[in-house]
Amino acid sequence: MKRIKLRFIEDIEVVFTDREQALKRVGEWAERGMVNVQVVYGPEGYGKTAWLMQSAELLKEHGFDVIYINPIERGFYAEIGIRDVKARLLEVLKEAAEETWVRVAWIVIDVARELIKAGRRRLAVLADDVFQAIGLDKAAIYVKGLLGLIEYPPSSYDVIVTVVATSEGISRREIGRHRWADLISMWNMSREGFHELYSQIPGEKPHFEEIWRLTGGNPKALTEIYRAGWDIEIAIERIISRKGLRGFIQALGENERRWLGEAVESPDTLFTRERISFMEELARLNLVIYDIPPRKDYLWIDNPPPEKDLEIGIGKYVAWQTPLHREAVKRVLEELSIL
């Protein structure tokens, strides 16, 4: 399989690395198809876009017509065997303003049905961050629309692959109420794969162990540190500012501040009855991810995280989005003399 090149940042390109198990799963879908839509979720910045783009290449090599869409980033890829359909779709995308990209997400389903009706036998629709674009209240409806391609196609087909990837965990509850999708977790990159990515970045850089300790294998966290000129203090301060952590923590009550301080040391301390609502608030801020599934292979599309690794902020049930997020919270707690 051809390994694609991805833009790491500005003028730096890297070759896709890691995710062997996840790509193997895509290969299995390509061979036997699927019964439900596959919804893949994980921490913010865990590398879903890179994986989907590499999956598009893999599926293309398996003879699929492939449509990939990312309304948030206005990203699109189409490898379609019917020229006039592809040209029409590309024309719609070319003219799409920011507000109409949401409509484009729905148009993709219509185009997929048109391709099936025209006799295309192998089709894949890969939707990236589509829930954030269309709204969480419509997430389940969108999944049902994709499921309709599998269950109620306008014509016969061989294999249809439909995958939605998201870094937003709250939508799990809405989607999980129905039987339209299989929810599968993906975590950050493995240590070995992340080291391969790190090695492709040119120039002087901090020692790998330091970068691993601060990112836990999260590729987006790596780009944030790189953008900060490898200055960790700048990277932390940017998270504090972006999340509005000083105001958020200042407004907390005494118990919540204590809980947050304890979570810095061990995130699983949030997973108690009295702290669930507070944990969900932290999840809405994309500071933590919770209800992490058991580390059983069938619940994960790629290698699961360790059962527990407090050095990089992972508990059995709750984890910090990245160690950088934990460090940002810890910094503000120290400033306010809470720790």
User: What is residue 82's predicted lDDT score, i.e. its pLDDT?
Assistant: 85
74 near 59, Cβ under 8 Å? no
The confidence band for 289, taking pLDDT boundaries of 50, 70 and 90, is very high
Kindly calculate the radius of gyration of the chain based on its CA atoms and give it in whole angstroms. Answer: 21
Percent of the chain exceeding pLDDT 90 equals 72
DSSP code, position 336:
T
Looking at per-residue pLDDT, the higher value among 72 and 188 belongs to 188
Residue 176 has pLDDT above 90, yes or no: no
The confidence band for 2, taking pLDDT boundaries of 50, 70 and 90, is confident
Least confident of 104-118, 174-188, 250-264, 292-306: 174-188
Topology given in CATH for the domain delimited by 5-185 = Rossmann fold (3.40.50)
Closest alpha carbon to 214 in 315, 325, 50? 325
The pairing of beta strand 288-290 with beta strand 65-70: unpaired
Residue in the structure block whose two tokens are 């990112």 = 215
Query: pTM of the predicted model, to two decimals?
Result: 0.91
The two structure tokens encoding residue 319: 């984890």
272 near 279, Cβ under 8 Å? no
User: What is residue 103's predicted lDDT score, i.e. its pLDDT?
Assistant: 81
Q: Report the alpha-carbon distance of residue 66 to residue 127 in Å, rounded.
A: 11
**80-137: per-residue pLDDT in tens?**
888 888 787 777 776 666 557 778 888 899 999 999 999 999 999 999 988 888 887 7
Mean pLDDT, the chain, as a whole number?
91
Domain boundaries, the chain: 5-185, 191-335
